[in-house]
Amino acid sequence: MPEVLVRIEKVNKHFGENHVLRDIDLDIHSGEVVVLLGASGSGKSTLCRCVNRLETVDSGVISLAGVPLPDEGGELARLRARVGMVFQSFNLFGHLSVLDNITLAPIRVRGLSRREADERARQLLDRVGLGDKADARPAQLSGGQQQRVAIARALAMDPQVLLFDEPTSALDPETVGEVLDVMAALAADGMTMLVVTHEMGFARRVADRIVFLDEGRVHETATPDEFFDAPRTERAREFLSKVL
Ligand code: ADP
Ligand code: MG
């Protein structure tokens, strides 16, 4: 059994009176792809944001490779570098070239030289199928291409785990597939991933495990075949009847 890379233990999170994460327990093993499903408002984004400490938890522990997430300071910056995140909105810098978007953090945070960072960025652009776009500006690219740049940017920090929060929800339908293909290739290469998506075909094909959240609780954990063919809970059946 591969090592546990991300361990989420008894995590609770409130926003005011709203108890959005309830006793969440979840282990993500090295090389595993966990797809997080659940209705809008069930806590998927909040859980992702807790894993890279964009949000703090109220109780419980999240650890990375056995080490609890630090609260602040230099340790936190180092942690962020090890947990990559890809959002629905790609947040690329419009005034920078594609290449500079990717090299910015490796140069500033990891201390790579410009030459090292450029070389690595070009490799990553090849990997996401955009080897010819290094000098383009984000606005010259389609949404799907911009999201692939955002993935390359996350990979440039050599993360141990990548979090994806609805990475294709803002895309034109015709560019969704190219982003999912890049994600599937990363998964096949052994990247550890936590993915929130409404793309059920992708979830079924690529996930090692489906985790279904309902009202802030892990309501059901199953293999994709089990979850899609024979969901055990009424809530999961209800959810699937709406999205399939
Ligand atoms: P999902 O991603 O599954 O749609 P979220 O994690 O975004 O769910 O939200 C879970 C709950 O937490 C919702 O009730 C949402 O309104 C609330 N919430 C999320 N972020 C905040 C915030 N920053 N402040 C207050 N409430 C929030
Ligand atoms: Mg969300």
149 vs 1: CA distance, rounded Å? 33
Residue 216 Cβ < 6 Å to ligand 1: no
Place of tokens 């989420």: 8
7 vs 25: CA distance, rounded Å? 8
pLDDT recorded at residue 186: 98
Residue 1 has pLDDT above 90, yes or no: no
C-alpha distance from residue 120 to each of 181, 187, 192, 198 (Å): 21, 20, 20, 31
Residue 20 Cβ < 6 Å to ligand 1: yes
Task: Report the nearest-CA residue for atom 15 of ligand 1.
Answer: 41
Asked casually if ipTM beats, i.e. exceeds, 0.90, the reply is: yes
The model's pLDDT over 95-107, given as tens digits with 9 standing for 90+, comes to 999 999 999 999 9
pLDDT recorded at residue 113: 98
Ligand nearest to the CA of 49: 1
91: left (phi over 0), alpha (psi -120 to 50) or beta: left
Query: Which among 13, 14, 17, 20 is the best mutation to test ligand 1's pocket, defined by most ligand atoms within 8 Å of the CB?
Result: 20
Residue 44 Cβ < 6 Å to ligand 1: yes
Residue 13 Cβ < 6 Å to ligand 1: no
Ligand nearest to the CA of 166: 2
The model's pLDDT over 39-87, given as tens digits with 9 standing for 90+, comes to 999 999 999 999 999 999 999 999 999 999 887 777 887 777 899 999 9
pLDDT recorded at residue 21: 98
**Distance from residue 43's CA to the centre of ligand 2 (Å):** 7
Residue 56 Cβ < 6 Å to ligand 1: no
The residues facing 220 across adjacent strands are 212
Place of tokens 């982003």: 179
**Distance from residue 40's CA to the centre of ligand 2 (Å):** 7
Residue 46 Cβ < 6 Å to ligand 1: yes
Whether residue 202 contacts residue 180, with contact meaning beta carbons closer than 8 Å, is answered with yes
Q: For residue 216, give the ligand 1 atom closest to its CA.
A: 10
pLDDT recorded at residue 106: 95
Using N-to-C axis directions, what is the helix angle for 114-127 and 98-108, rounded to 10°? 130
210 vs 221: CA distance, rounded Å? 6
Ligand nearest to the CA of 56: 1
> How many Cβ atoms sit within 10 Å of the Cβ of residue 114?
11
**pTM for this structure?**
0.96
The model's pLDDT over 100-147, given as tens digits with 9 standing for 90+, comes to 999 999 999 889 999 999 999 999 999 999 999 999 999 999 999 999
C-alpha distance from residue 163 to each of 28, 59, 77, 118, 197 (Å): 11, 21, 16, 24, 11
Residue by residue, DSSP assigns the chain as -PPEEEEEEEEEEEETTEEEEEEEEEEEETT-EEEEE--TTSSHHHHHHHHTTSS--SEEEEEETTEEPP-SHHHHHHHHHHEEEE-SS----TTS-HHHHHHHHHHHTS---HHHHHHHHHHHHHHTT-TT-TT--GGGS-HHHHHHHHHHHHHTT--SEEEEESTTTTS-HHHHHHHHHHHHHHHHTT-EEEEE-S-HHHHHHH-SEEEEEETTEEEEEE-HHHHHHS-SSHHHHHHHHHH-
Supply 187's token pair. Answer: 């998964």
Task: Report the nearest-CA residue for atom 12 of ligand 1.
Answer: 20
Residue 233 Cβ < 6 Å to ligand 1: no
